[in-house]
Amino acid sequence: MAMLNEREETLSREELERLQSERLVWQVKRTYERVECFRKRMDEAGLTPDDIHGIEDLHKLPFSYKKDLRDYYPYGLFAEPLKNIVRVHASSGTTGKRIVVGYTKNDLDLWADCFARMLTAIGATDEDVVQVSYGYGLFTGGLGAHDGATRIGATVIPMSSGNTPLQIQNMIDFGATILCCTPSYALYIGEEIERAGLKDQLKLKAGIFGAEPWTENMRREIEEKLGIKAYDIYGLSEILGPGVGCECEYQEGMHVWEDHFIPEIIDPDTCEVLPKGATGELVFTTITKEGFPAIRYRTRDICSLDYTPCKCGRTHVRMRKPTGRSDDMLIIRGVNVFPSQVEEVLLSIGGGEITPNYFITVDRVDNNDTFDLDVEMSEAFFADDVKSIAAVERTIAEKLRSALGLGVKVHLVNPKSIARSEGKAKRVLDKRKLS
């Protein structure tokens, strides 16, 4: 199949490494000069940009973390002045504050390229009609897919998420050939189409699905219900957004565009770089991004990298689908949720009257994630009527919705009925079967 940037996508390992080395040296130097957090860590490690000669020195560089984005919120990690930043995106942090990333014009360009490479790899052209049903807005999914599809000259239907009947109507009326959304939403749309008996009227041939964990079983189910090929995409806003890792037509792992990102696999406990092919935590360094450069960013995603040649002819390494997290982050309906965010919200209510004891239950019912939260009722909020209890429940649910960007069903339970434990309490039950 065709390639968007054939030269870049087929560089030999040697050429790739030379390019990466050059770009890494450039990125380290400018980030050191412009970003205080990185400079401090380099100084603490006794390193200067002059110590970094190429990718052979990558392992010497200090790591960066999601926490940094909160500590330097909102713009403290940007390497360009705001006048050069043309867009921001935001997602949830580990606590109440969201994290913000910024893009220059060049960054948006390279992002569009990354996504467009995938579209081209799966056979999309300017003849295609791409329905983008990822949420548009601060979430990177919508605009990321939008710009990628625009890059190849496809016709974009900027649907955003929600309003499923209209999604299906437009898919049929506008002749959508490619669908981009979360896999659980794709499955939901597929079920609705099946229920309505409209499969025959679809022109869909492929879908690009990501932003949440999904399984090979889900892939088969989506393919069957929508009559398409379903492709996996990987990304995170701290690195770029969707398009960091993309499946090609052979679907044997996601190509990481190594002319823009250097992936490493480390042992999350010892932080040692693991040998090629090993499973561990994925770490990224962005070597071309200007606005928000990430040096050895700890994704917390657990996966492995495959450096063997791919049948498609692309030389870029392939990452396997992440199998888990090295932290306690949950992905619910495509939204990142940290239990610590829930705790922070509870502590903020009623001057400490609500205890930060909670229990999260996540499940998947009819292909939709459910998010239930047990919270201990407090005597201070109790009166002799049901209204007062409903009000407490509503307050907690509303605060959580605004902090997490996600609806949650709150259940008030008796005080001290949620198990306490020494050290790390078990606060989450994820009943979703993802294998």
Partner 1 sequence: MIVKQLSAFIENKAGRLAELAETLAANDVDVSALSLADSADYGVARMIVSDPEKAAKVLRESGVICKITSVLAVAMEDTPGGFAKVLHLLKNQSHEIKYMYACISRHEGKALMIVSVENVDAAEALIAGTSAGNVHPGDIYRL
How far apart are the C-alpha atoms of 118 and 136, rounded to whole Å? 20
Cβ atoms 306, 277 nearer than 8 A: yes
Measured in whole angstroms, how far is the alpha carbon of residue 73 from the centre of its chain? 19
Locus of tokens 């909020």: 381
Q: How far is CA 269 from CA 63, 274, 278, in A?
A: 13, 12, 15
Q: Which is nearer to partner 1, 307 or 382 (CB)?
A: 382
User: Could you tell me which residues come within 8 angstroms of residue 354 by beta carbon, excluding any fewer than 6 positions away?
Assistant: 346, 347, 375, 376, 378, 381, 392, 396
The CB-of-416 to partner 1 minimum distance in angstroms stands at 5
The CB-of-386 to partner 1 minimum distance in angstroms stands at 5
Angle 389-362-346 (CA atoms, 0-180°, nearest 5)?
A: 40
Q: Which two structure tokens, joined as six digits, stand for 59? A: 């392992």
Give strand pairing partners of 428.
360
Count of beta carbons in the 10 Å neighbourhood of residue 311? 9
DSSP for 168-203?
HHHHHHTT--EEEE-HHHHHHHHHHHHHHT-GGG--
Q: Which is nearer to partner 1, 257 or 381 (CB)?
A: 381
How far apart are the C-alpha atoms of 108 and 115, rounded to whole Å? 11
The CB-of-333 to partner 1 minimum distance in angstroms stands at 22
Quick one: CA torsion of 27, 136, 370, 387, rounded to 10 degrees?
120
Residue 145 carries which DSSP code?
H
The CB-of-406 to partner 1 minimum distance in angstroms stands at 19
The CB-of-381 to partner 1 minimum distance in angstroms stands at 9
Q: Which is nearer to partner 1, 352 or 415 (CB)?
A: 415
The CB-of-393 to partner 1 minimum distance in angstroms stands at 8
Q: Which is nearer to partner 1, 379 or 422 (CB)?
A: 379
Grouping H, G, I as helix, E, B as strand and the rest as coil, residue 295 is coil
Q: Which is nearer to partner 1, 313 or 415 (CB)?
A: 415
Q: Which is nearer to partner 1, 401 or 416 (CB)?
A: 416
Q: Which two structure tokens, joined as six digits, stand for 264? A: 């490493």
Q: Which is nearer to partner 1, 128 or 376 (CB)?
A: 376
Q: Under the rule (CB under 8 A), what is the footprint of partner 1?
A: 377-379, 382-386, 389-390, 393, 411-417
The CB-of-390 to partner 1 minimum distance in angstroms stands at 6
Q: Which is nearer to partner 1, 40 or 411 (CB)?
A: 411
The CB-of-374 to partner 1 minimum distance in angstroms stands at 9
Residue 423 carries which DSSP code?
S
Q: Which is nearer to partner 1, 9 or 376 (CB)?
A: 376
Closest by Cα among 61, 100, 47 to 77: 100
Q: Which is nearer to partner 1, 269 or 379 (CB)?
A: 379
Measured in whole angstroms, how far is the alpha carbon of residue 308 from the centre of its chain? 25
How far apart are the C-alpha atoms of 316 and 319, rounded to whole Å? 10
Residue 378 carries which DSSP code?
-
The CB-of-389 to partner 1 minimum distance in angstroms stands at 6
Q: Which is nearer to partner 1, 45 or 390 (CB)?
A: 390
How far apart are the C-alpha atoms of 188 and 338, rounded to whole Å? 25
User: Could you tell me which residues come within 8 angstroms of residue 422 by beta carbon, excluding any fewer than 6 positions away?
Assistant: none
The CB-of-378 to partner 1 minimum distance in angstroms stands at 7
